[in-house]
Chains A and B, each alone.
Chain A
Amino acid sequence: MENIMLPQAHKILKVLRETQAEYTFRVAYDRPTAYNQFFQLSIPKIGEAPISISGRGVGYLEFTIRKTGRLTNGIFGLGPNDTLFMRGPYGNSFPVADFEGKDLVVICGGTGMAPLKTILNHFYDHPAIARSVHLITGFKDVNAVLFSDELAKFAQKFHTIYCLDNMEAPGFHQGFVTQYIKEIPFADFADYNVAIVGPPVMMGLAAQECLANGAQEDKIWVSFERRMSCGVGKCGHCKINGTYVCLDGPVFNYTKAKNLFD
């Protein structure tokens, strides 16, 4: 019988420094995954935590990690050729197939862009499959900006609004992402989807703002982040009402998400 709790060793191929506190780790991996599924990443003798895929390529996956606790501190101490332990992929992903042929709105805050990056790249690489892509992404300040190269790339093909919470900078407006949602021409869309990932408060406010601007509830998708010790529906940490975020999420349609309460 397969032991689902047993992690496998994977080689780190490359470490990309995004900001002072956020690095992207490229890890050798060659089995199928769906866009923003997550893995339980671990370092022996330190611990384990769920991290979403932020990039995919032939023979590798990328995880963009913020240095924020014991495990992530440990991971930041690793470099190319070191070993990262992983098990997964777990959870669902945004329903990308359903996004195709329609207008797509992506709203993210901070590291929330990480799980949406694979999806943005999918539409960047195949511009014909979406009618339009609107991307609003916000960071705290210039030092917190992630994926600068990709932001520049996306600006060429997508309608983009980049913003910083409390400062202006070349290419960035000042303000929160929620202030710019009114720029999205929901009324002109025949059919569309909205994907939102960021801190919980930001996701709630962004969804509210979309609704206020004429978006329908069932067109909005959000992704939850919870403490997890297993990722496979046993440890109980991520349960909300009768829903397990690891099994039934982390991506939820807003019609479901709005009824979940912790």
Chain B
Amino acid sequence: MTAINDVAVQQNRQQFYLFLARLYEHEVSPALLRQLRQLTYPTACGEVTLQAGYDQIHTFLTANSHVDAIDDLAVDYAKVFLAAGEPKGKAAFPYESVYTSKQKLIMQEAWEQVQAEYAAAGLALVTEQTDIKEDHIAVELKFMAHLVRTEASLAQQQIFLHRHLLNWVPQFCQDIARYSRTTFYPGVAKLTLGFLQMEAKLLVTADAPAPKPPSYALSYAAMDQIISQWQEHYHVYAPKLMASRNPDQPELVRFGEINSVKEIVTDRQSDFSAKEIYYPIMQTLFYFNQNGCQESQLTDDKDIILFLHPCDINALKRTDNIFLKNGGNEDIYYKRLRDKLKIVLLECEQSLPNCFCVSMHTNVSHNYSLAVRLGTDGVQVQVQDPSLAAAFSGMQPSQFTPKFVTANKQKAVLPEINNTAELKLAGHLDYWHKFDNNCIGCGGCNTVCPTCTCFDTTDVRYNETSPDGERRRVWSSCMLDSFTRTAGGRCVRKTPGANMRFKVLHKVYDYRQRFGGSENMCVGCGRCIARCPQDISVLDTINEFHDALEKAKSEVQ
């Protein structure tokens, strides 16, 4: 473990924050460029993103003359960060507010929050640059440097890092890569992201006296009392036994409203995921009448408290990316329900038979309002969200922090696809034909998946003569043979094998490529394995795909 208290380490961290801050503060000056050229760039720093950043910057500096580089970088800086000559929005605006406010504006809530934090540290921003605000990335990085220099508690550093840098910088860095026309600023973006991710790890592993959120020990009766209090303002959903639509079939575990935590089923994975709560199977988008279209409204005022295992909390991040980030636009139908959610982390007593969350790095989540352990002698609760704290005042304090599973019975070995040639190889493996005679294209796997978001729209007319009707959207499935069918009957994917390849590549490669970072779409919940009427296991498929790809790679060489 890195000795975080080592003086040299502290100085390096501080210097690196200041170095990054300088790169964002204004364009590269001739003096800075000369310095950058004189630096020795690490060739194997051990952190993938950071190293990619070093490599890209180094490549840029060696490929361009001093004069060319100065001009190109000035133009690129103005384009990327100031949107010079660009239509509105096509830039990586370096302010936290822009990334965290609904209207993507500067000087919003985040700006006020960081000002307050600076003030608490006895600091105020003084600058002659009018474009530098308190939540400008350079200022936030400098504040981190300040925290390191003044030896602020590691918990304090960690909190600022997560609340005000890691919450928006990953997306900001993606935007830099998208809008930059040089390789330099995308290199700087990678450097930034790699460094901040390393910092997050460093601060977690340091045995920091983190401010612990309060925890309580309750009886089941007391917990149920609190649930009934919540029900005034919330629907409380959790995995519970529900009758199957077919009365001959055994009960299913689905997400439904509970009145008691005793109803929660924890000894088996729910058959359906929780997505039906915040992304219903069928939704009315708008109504048609003689005057045009009228957006559907939510009629229920209550917010939602949702009990989720860590894999499903991580799944929410995936659906957020599709509905709130992909294409740079937000889907209001998803957002209006998503905004109602408060998450209760349901601690996993054990890893269940089909789980492979550890392989997918989804066994842990800290994104919750409350964490709950349903023990034999009562309920343990940790409260992270002040808005739900009141109900627990006066309860018996405890030392509870949730535990996470650290091993599953089964492992997924993910395919390694490093370039376009390998992707092509992966997409054209004979392996996929295996599913042509096996998969029946029912789409059950997509239905139970917490990260599948695809939909169709369909129009409904109330009767033949009425001008009234509505447009609905309904879950769709990439495993159906109609998924790519256009008017006239043409389909681009024609076989179950092709559909399976499309689905699996999305779950373990395409999504990660599109949104950057290391997260795959699949969260390893194992629901599709249990659901498949043909006993096709996505886990086996991932592993066999990996092996088939490695074999194909070795044959190419």
Residues of chain A having any CB pair with chain B under 8 Å: 1-9, 42, 44-49, 68-72, 85, 200, 225-227, 229-230, 232-237, 239, 241-242, 244, 246-247, 259, 261-262
A-B contact pairs, 22 of them (CB 8 A): A6-B293, A9-B293, A45-B460, A49-B487, A69-B486, A71-B487, A72-B487, A200-B492, A226-B484, A227-B486, A232-B327, A233-B326, A235-B455, A235-B476, A242-B510, A242-B514, A246-B327, A259-B423, A261-B424, A261-B427, A262-B492, A262-B493
List residues of chain A with CB within 8 A of the CB of B461.
45
Asked if B330 lies at the interface with its beta carbon under 8 angstroms from chain A, I say yes
Contacts known (A4-B331, A44-B288, A262-B502); A239 close to B510, Cβ less than 8 A = yes
List residues of chain B with CB within 8 A of the CB of A262.
484, 492-493, 498, 502
List residues of chain A with CB within 8 A of the CB of B453.
234, 236
List residues of chain A with CB within 8 A of the CB of B506.
239
List residues of chain A with CB within 8 A of the CB of B293.
6-7, 9, 44, 85
Query: What 0/1 readout, one digit per residue, does chain B (454-467) give for beta carbons within 8 Å of chain A?
Result: 11111111000000
How many residues of chain B are within 8 Å of chain A by beta carbon? 53
Asked if B375 lies at the interface with its beta carbon under 8 angstroms from chain A, I say no
List residues of chain A with CB within 8 A of the CB of B323.
234
8 closest cross-chain pairs (CB), A and B: A69-B487, A233-B327, A236-B454, A44-B288, A45-B461, A45-B469, A262-B492, A242-B513
List residues of chain A with CB within 8 A of the CB of B455.
229-230, 234-236
Asked if B404 lies at the interface with its beta carbon under 8 angstroms from chain A, I say no
Asked if B338 lies at the interface with its beta carbon under 8 angstroms from chain A, I say no
- Is the pair B459, A227 in contact by a Cβ cutoff of 8 Å? no
For B502, give the chain A residue with the smallest CB separation: A262
- State in angstroms the CA–CA spacing of A200 and B469 once bound together: 36
- Known A-B contacts: A72-B487, A236-B454, A239-B510. Give 14 more (CB < 8 A): A1-B102, A4-B329, A6-B286, A44-B288, A45-B461, A47-B457, A47-B459, A48-B459, A232-B329, A234-B323, A235-B456, A239-B506, A241-B427, A262-B484
For B494, give the chain A residue with the smallest CB separation: A262
A51 CB to nearest B CB, Å: 11
List residues of chain A with CB within 8 A of the CB of B292.
8-9
List residues of chain B with CB within 8 A of the CB of A1.
102, 330, 332, 335
- State in angstroms the CA–CA spacing of A233 and B293 once bound together: 22
Asked if B218 lies at the interface with its beta carbon under 8 angstroms from chain A, I say no
List residues of chain A with CB within 8 A of the CB of B484.
226-227, 237, 262
A19 CB to nearest B CB, Å: 15
List residues of chain B with CB within 8 A of the CB of A69.
486-488
Query: What 0/1 readout, one digit per residue, does chain B (506-545) give for beta carbons within 8 Å of chain A?
Result: 1001110110000000000000000000000000000000
Asked if B420 lies at the interface with its beta carbon under 8 angstroms from chain A, I say yes
8 Å CB contact of A237 from B286, B332, B483, B498: B483
Asked if B295 lies at the interface with its beta carbon under 8 angstroms from chain A, I say yes
- State in angstroms the CA–CA spacing of A237 and B329 once bound together: 17
B469 CB to nearest A CB, Å: 4
Asked if B162 lies at the interface with its beta carbon under 8 angstroms from chain A, I say no
- State in angstroms the CA–CA spacing of A246 and B493 once bound together: 18
Contacts known (A227-B484, A237-B483); A5 close to B326, Cβ less than 8 A = no
Total number of residue pairs linking A and B with CB closer than 8 Å:
128
Asked if B277 lies at the interface with its beta carbon under 8 angstroms from chain A, I say no
8 Å CB contact of A229 from B322, B457, B469: B457
Asked if B66 lies at the interface with its beta carbon under 8 angstroms from chain A, I say no
- Is the pair B486, A241 in contact by a Cβ cutoff of 8 Å? no
- State in angstroms the CA–CA spacing of A168 and B502 once bound together: 43
B445-492 at interface with A (beta carbon < 8 Å): 453-461, 469, 471, 473, 476, 478, 483-488, 492
- Is the pair A44, B492 in contact by a Cβ cutoff of 8 Å? no
- Is the pair A236, B478 in contact by a Cβ cutoff of 8 Å? yes
8 Å CB contact of B486 from A225, A232, A235, A246: A225
Query: What 0/1 readout, one digit per residue, does chain B (238-268) give for beta carbons within 8 Å of chain A?
Result: 0000000000000000000000000000000
For B289, give the chain A residue with the smallest CB separation: A44
- State in angstroms the CA–CA spacing of A2 and B333 once bound together: 11
- State in angstroms the CA–CA spacing of A236 and B329 once bound together: 15
List residues of chain A with CB within 8 A of the CB of B511.
242
B513 CB to nearest A CB, Å: 4
- State in angstroms the CA–CA spacing of A44 and B466 once bound together: 11
Asked if B553 lies at the interface with its beta carbon under 8 angstroms from chain A, I say no
Asked if B217 lies at the interface with its beta carbon under 8 angstroms from chain A, I say no
- Is the pair A261, B428 in contact by a Cβ cutoff of 8 Å? yes
List residues of chain A with CB within 8 A of the CB of B137.
none
Asked if B505 lies at the interface with its beta carbon under 8 angstroms from chain A, I say yes
B362 CB to nearest A CB, Å: 20
Asked if B166 lies at the interface with its beta carbon under 8 angstroms from chain A, I say no
Contacts known (A3-B332, A259-B423); A45 close to B498, Cβ less than 8 A = no
- Is the pair B505, A234 in contact by a Cβ cutoff of 8 Å? no
List residues of chain B with CB within 8 A of the CB of A232.
327, 329, 331
List residues of chain A with CB within 8 A of the CB of B333.
5
- Is the pair B457, A226 in contact by a Cβ cutoff of 8 Å? no
- State in angstroms the CA–CA spacing of A48 and B460 once bound together: 12
Asked if B285 lies at the interface with its beta carbon under 8 angstroms from chain A, I say yes
- Is the pair B327, A47 in contact by a Cβ cutoff of 8 Å? no
List residues of chain B with CB within 8 A of the CB of A233.
322, 326-327, 329
- Is the pair B510, A241 in contact by a Cβ cutoff of 8 Å? yes
- State in angstroms the CA–CA spacing of A259 and B453 once bound together: 25
- Is the pair A234, B326 in contact by a Cβ cutoff of 8 Å? yes
For B102, give the chain A residue with the smallest CB separation: A1
List residues of chain A with CB within 8 A of the CB of B485.
227
- State in angstroms the CA–CA spacing of A46 and B460 once bound together: 8
- State in angstroms the CA–CA spacing of A200 and B423 once bound together: 21
- Is the pair B327, A234 in contact by a Cβ cutoff of 8 Å? yes
A80 CB to nearest B CB, Å: 19
- State in angstroms the CA–CA spacing of A70 and B486 once bound together: 11
- State in angstroms the CA–CA spacing of A135 and B340 once bound together: 56
- State in angstroms the CA–CA spacing of A235 and B279 once bound together: 13
- State in angstroms the CA–CA spacing of A48 and B455 once bound together: 13
A48 CB to nearest B CB, Å: 6
B480 CB to nearest A CB, Å: 11
List residues of chain B with CB within 8 A of the CB of A68.
487-488
For A32, give the chain B residue with the smallest CB separation: B87
B234 CB to nearest A CB, Å: 23
B478 CB to nearest A CB, Å: 7
- State in angstroms the CA–CA spacing of A90 and B458 once bound together: 20
- State in angstroms the CA–CA spacing of A239 and B330 once bound together: 18
For B478, give the chain A residue with the smallest CB separation: A236
- State in angstroms the CA–CA spacing of A120 and B513 once bound together: 36
- State in angstroms the CA–CA spacing of A239 and B478 once bound together: 10
- State in angstroms the CA–CA spacing of A76 and B453 once bound together: 33
- Is the pair B423, A241 in contact by a Cβ cutoff of 8 Å? yes
List residues of chain B with CB within 8 A of the CB of A7.
293
For B498, give the chain A residue with the smallest CB separation: A262
- A68, A85, A235 pick with most chain B CB within 10 angstroms: A235
Contacts known (A226-B492, A229-B457, A261-B428); A234 close to B322, Cβ less than 8 A = yes
- Is the pair B476, A229 in contact by a Cβ cutoff of 8 Å? yes
List residues of chain A with CB within 8 A of the CB of B510.
239, 241-242
- Is the pair B326, A247 in contact by a Cβ cutoff of 8 Å? yes
- Is the pair A5, B456 in contact by a Cβ cutoff of 8 Å? no
Contacts known (A233-B329, A236-B478); A5 close to B454, Cβ less than 8 A = no
